Amino acid sequence: MGLSNPFQGQRIVLRAFEPDDADAVHSLLNHPELAGRRYLPDEFPDTTPVSTGQVRALIEKSGGGGRALNLAVASEADGALLGYASLDWWWEPLAPSLHVVIDPQHWRQGYGSECAHLLIQFAFDTLPARAVAGGCASWNEPAREFARRLGFMETGAARRAGLRRGQPFDWVRFDMLRREWEGSNNAAGR
């Protein structure tokens, strides 16, 4: 078996953020379609405009301190920034949390799935994880469908997570157990 890069996909590569990414990240985060689904640390806004200073701080912070990965999702073909993703086991290595954010102009092209597969595999290959967990707002049907297609199971919701357009919404939780991942086609053929 040859050496392989766990962050290299067919069409994407996951890499660390660099200061030069700031403009592209600023543009991406302020995309109106991503309001409410940026999945940033608590001190950064989830729905309101993000400044260049905040983006620089975010990139600065993206090292993760050895208990999280915060990676740029880049095109294998031309290196363009397609989105970003995180895998965080700071609190509990038994159940790291995964988030994938793809630039809306590149939605429905399979980049998110490819990215998620790499990070789920990384979690089960390198961490003592029993499960990989995630979550999204209840109004975010595309994200829920994305998670279901990957094999995640919805396990409930934190009720009244916030307000959107005057309506309360929940925060849906989902997770996938190691044995579910290993028993699925996702992990087959490794």
Partner 1 sequence: MPLEGKLTILREEREEDVPVFLALRNDLATQAWPKTLPPDFTMGMYRQRHEREFTMDRLDGRFAVEWKENGACIGHIGYTDLRPRWSAGIGITILQDYWGTGAGLDAQETLLKFLFEELGLRVVRLWTNSGNPAAIRLAEKSGFRITGRGREAVFRMGAIYDGVAMDILREEYYERHPELTDGLPPLTGDLT
Residues near partner 1 (CB under 8 A): 91-92, 94-95, 130-131, 133, 153, 155-160, 162-163, 166-168, 173, 175, 177
76 versus 92: smaller Cβ distance to partner 1: 92
3-state helix, strand, coil in the chain (%, to 5): 35, 30, 35
Contacting residues for 81 by C-beta, under 8 A, at least 6 apart: 21, 24, 25, 28, 72, 73, 74, 103
CB of 156 to partner 1, least distance (A): 3
CB of 169 to partner 1, least distance (A): 10
Q: Where are the beta strands (DSSP E) in 17-148?
A: 68-75, 81-88, 97-102, 131-137
CB of 164 to partner 1, least distance (A): 10
71 versus 87: smaller Cβ distance to partner 1: 87
Cα(123)–Cα(98) distance, integer angstroms: 9
3 versus 163: smaller Cβ distance to partner 1: 163
6 versus 90: smaller Cβ distance to partner 1: 90
